[in-house]
């Protein structure tokens, strides 16, 4: 009994500390203690969860996530490689857990992702004949989307099907099924999960050429009479170089097609690299010059990041009638994928919470917009 009381007290203390450290005033003068509270009339505020967080193994993350966010996306565990490892074998353990987590905390779950060329199971890559591949494709969508029908809010149905110039990416899906695979994925998902919102998701699709490709792809799905509800702009951007004009033009262009717009994987990277985007196949060799802030980041850069995030959220607020969700790709800096990619073993600082879950200047600048 004593141990139980101590645990409750510790969790309560963590919560109270977050509430105190992160509070600001909202429009009505009441203290808004969280992102989701401050932006509740505007759009959902989401985050991506890793396995530890889904299983609530980290007390600080377990306290912070439901306090700050009202939408979650699994960072990896719904990808085909994990959820569908063999032709006739599915692994729903962790996916069921994130669905239960969402229900327990009243948080909307976005499924990520049904059809993606990356993180495909080995058996799927080895399928040679077209009919067998189509059967895999159909079974995968029917089984996975069908299982979570009515249980999750939305799906990233197709992820990253485009090249930077707006043409279709060369992938096993394009190779075996032609460019109609996108429409077919949405058609199957709409049948398997009729009440779930269905999205196309990509990085750099705010850039003019890729945006054109994305608009063409959406129009093709719509022309076939198939439901598509929204487009996700991932939002992997760089310090001091956030393309606000391209983002605004894209929000308007996607909305003009009748789509909801989401920022689905937001982070602002602080470290140098020689290309833009999030193609996980692109890598750079490790080199100390590429890891300049291993022992701490100068305040001037944190201030620049705060300005970048504030400018972004000002834009999102301007278009809050078109944007339904803004999701960060991770909870705190230490858990971001950008510590391991495109250069392994770096110390990056892309999110609103630092490694100890303390709010950074960027958190306060985003909250200050709602004062």
Which sequence positions are flagged as catalytic?
265
Is the CB of 159 or the CB of 250 nearer to ligand G3I?
159
DSSP assignment string, 6-46? HHHHHHHHHHHHHHHHT-EE-TTSSEE-SHHHHTTTT-EEE
CA dist., res. 128 & res. 74, Å (int)? 30
Cβ at position 241, least distance to ligand G3I in Å: 18
Strands (E), 219-354: 230-233, 236-238, 260-269, 323-328
Cβ at position 232, least distance to ligand G3I in Å: 9
Do residues 22 and 33 touch, judged by C-beta distance below 8 A?
A: yes
Longest CA–CA span in the chain (Å) reads 64
Give the closest residue to 103 by CA, choosing from 60, 152, 63, 136: 152
Q: In the complex, which residue's CB is closest to ligand G3I?
A: 337
Cβ at position 233, least distance to ligand G3I in Å: 11
Cβ at position 76, least distance to ligand G3I in Å: 5
Strands (E), the chain: 24-25, 31-32, 44-49, 71-74, 108-116, 154-159, 197-202, 230-233, 236-238, 260-269, 323-328
Is the CB of 82 or the CB of 366 nearer to ligand G3I?
82
Give the closest residue to 71 by CA, choosing from 266, 301, 348: 266
Is the CB of 76 or the CB of 222 nearer to ligand G3I?
76
Q: Quick one: which H or E segment has residue 59?
A: helix 59-68
Residue 246: asked if its preceding bond is cis (omega within 30°), the reply is: no
Is the CB of 191 or the CB of 243 nearer to ligand G3I?
243
Cβ at position 138, least distance to ligand G3I in Å: 22
Cβ at position 268, least distance to ligand G3I in Å: 14
Is the CB of 163 or the CB of 222 nearer to ligand G3I?
163
CA dist., res. 331 & res. 351, Å (int)? 7
Cβ at position 14, least distance to ligand G3I in Å: 25
Q: DSSP character for 114?
A: E
Is the CB of 75 or the CB of 197 nearer to ligand G3I?
75
**Structure-token pair, residue 144:** 């996975």
Residue numbers at the binding site for ligand G3I (CB under 6 A): 75-76, 118-119, 159, 203, 234, 265, 278, 280, 337
Report the DSSP beta bridge partners of residue 116: 159
Is the CB of 118 or the CB of 291 nearer to ligand G3I?
118
């Amino acid at each position: 009994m004593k141990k139980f009381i101590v645990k409750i007290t510790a969790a309560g203390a963590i919560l109270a500390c977050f509430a105190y450290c992160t509070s600001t005033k909202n429009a009505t003068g009441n203290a808004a203690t969280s992102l989701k509270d401050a932006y509740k009339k505007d759009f959902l505020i989401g985050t991506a969860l890793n396995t530890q967080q889904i299983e609530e193994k980290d007390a600080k993350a377990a306290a912070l996530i439901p306090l700050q966010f009202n939408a979650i996306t699994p960072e990896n565990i719904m990808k085909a490689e994990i959820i569908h490892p063999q032709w006739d074998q599915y692994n729903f353990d962790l996916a069921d857990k994130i669905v239960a987590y969402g229900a327990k905390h009243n948080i909307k779950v976005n499924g990520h992702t049904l059809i993606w060329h990356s993180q495909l199971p080995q058996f799927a890559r080895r399928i040679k004949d077209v009919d067998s591949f189509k059967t895999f494709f159909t079974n995968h969508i029917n089984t996975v989307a069908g299982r979570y029908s009515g249980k999750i809010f939305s799906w990233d149905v197709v992820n990253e099907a485009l090249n930077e110039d707006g043409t279709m990416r060369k992938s096993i899906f394009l190779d075996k099924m032609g460019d109609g695979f996108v429409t077919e994925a949405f058609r199957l998902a709409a049948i398997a999960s009729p009440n779930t919102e269905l999205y196309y998701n990509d990085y750099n699709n705010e850039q003019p050429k890729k945006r054109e490709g994305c608009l063409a792809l959406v129009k093709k799905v719509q022309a076939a009479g198939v439901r598509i509800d929204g487009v996700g702009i991932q939002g992997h951007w760089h310090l001091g170089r956030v393309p606000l004009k391209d983002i605004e033009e894209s929000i308007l262009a996607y909305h003009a097609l009748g789509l909801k717009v989401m920022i689905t994987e937001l982070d602002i990277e602080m470290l140098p690299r020689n290309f833009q985007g999030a193609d996980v196949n692109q890598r750079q060799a490790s080199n100390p010059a590429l890891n300049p802030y291993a022992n701490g980041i100068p305040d001037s850069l944190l201030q620049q990041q705060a300005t970048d995030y504030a400018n972004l959220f000002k834009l999102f607020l301007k278009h809050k009638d078109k944007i339904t969700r803004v999701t960060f790709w991770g909870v705190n800096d230490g858990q971001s994928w950008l510590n391991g990619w495109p250069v392994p073993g770096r110390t990056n600082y892309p999110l609103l919470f630092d490694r100890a879950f303390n709010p950074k200047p960027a958190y306060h600048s985003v909250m200050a917009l709602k004062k």
